[in-house]
Structure 1
Amino acid sequence: MAEVTNQELITLLNEKFGDKIIGVNEPYGLLTFETTKDVIIEVLKFLKESPIANFNYLTDITAVHYPEKKHGIAVVYHLHSMVKRIRVRIKVFIDEQHPTIPTATSVWNGANWMERETYDLFGVKFEGHPDLRRILNMDDLGVHPMLKQYPLEDPNRVDKKDEYFGR
């Protein structure tokens, strides 16, 4: 099978989804683009089922918290086409106050645990997920530890005072 290039993928996506594909760039050769949560499942299905793209492996689903941006949370999907030897990163920015996005478990069964981890650490609710509950933290933990809403260290710790280190 012939390999596919980043430019061929972008052309293919633009033909299918038009202005729903934005923010295209290639940091270190990794094709990265943004889309919206209303079409993310269609984009994922298209990339998986298209014979040109053939992204047969969901590498990861995670999130990034950008507290300074309008839409504070980015849900990030990493896909890999082992046949075409290419990878892609897809970002979907969602509202920090209502962090919901459709589940990708209808496309990949392996998305189940990845989405549970993202929910547990970032508080992103995956609509339609078959078993969305905490996977790493205690059930009664009232926070999502990867959100940048908390101080990095306790300001009252005495073992971190500069005078103890000659500063």
Structure 2
Amino acid sequence: MNFTAIVSLLQTRFGPEAVVANTTNPQPYLTVPVEQLVAIGQFLRDDDRLFFDLLACVTAIDNGPEAGTMEVIYNLTSIPFEHNLMLKVVVPRTTQPLPAVPSLAHLWRTADWHEREAFDLVGIRFTDHPDLRRILLPADWVGHPLRTDYREEDQYHGIQTK
């Protein structure tokens, strides 16, 4: 199934306002509302015509304070049908509380690690995640290093960091 057919199927099921296609990039992608992410993800996984059985990657991007948004990007693959899809959700950029996106770990087990990485490095909270805690940095690390406004502390436990 090609990108256009997938878009058509999703827009029929969820509405054209809920599934926005972007074909200007070298790899086309869909932007979906954060409120419908779980339902769309479950449909992509469970529908026999699509069967996206692999969540290959979850990436988070901080667009900076000026833009005021953050993005979470999902790369999905259907191994038997050999088709790929990129999904994106855009959320407001906040520091307290952290931006929230629902977890997809109950749909794809690989989301567990990737969501923890995005939480740790970019500071996006994944609601209903089974074990949302830092995975790469120490538990007492201050901040999220891949945020555009991150400032590293001068010392960590008496060790000079700069």
Range into which the TM-score falls when normalised by the shorter chain:
0.7 to 0.9
Contact in 2 for aligned 1:74/1:91 (Cα 8 Å):
yes
Alignment of 1:64 onto 2:61:
yes
**Looking at CA atoms only, which structure, 1 or 2, has the larger radius of gyration?**
1
Asked if the contact 1:22–1:35 (Cα under 8 Å) also holds between the matched residues in 2, the reply is yes
Alignment of 1:68-147 (within 5 A): 68-70=66-68, 72-97=69-94, 98-147=98-147
CA distance in 2 between partners of 1:27 and 1:128 (Å): 32
What is the TM-score of this pair, normalised by structure 1?
A: 0.83
State how many pairs are aligned: 148
CA distance in 1, matches of 2:142, 2:23: 37
The residue aligned with 2:49 is 52
Runs of 5+ unmatched residues, structure 2: 153-162
Q: How does 1:29-44 map to 2 (within 5 A)?
A: 30-44=27-41
SS at the partner of 2:35?
coil
Is 1:15 paired with 2:12? yes
How far residue 151 of structure 1 moved from its aligned partner, in angstroms, is: 6.7
Which whole-Å CA distance do the structure 2 matches of 1:147 and 1:20 have between them?
Answer: 28
Superposed displacement of residue 105, structure 1: 1.1
Quote the Cα distance in structure 1 between the aligned partners of 2:134 and 2:35.
25
- List, as ranges, runs of 4+ consecutive aligned residues in structure 1 with deviation greater than 6 Å: none
Structure 1 runs not aligned, ≥5 long? 153-167
Contact 1:31 1:87 in 2 (8 A): no
Q: TM-score scaled by structure 2? A: 0.85
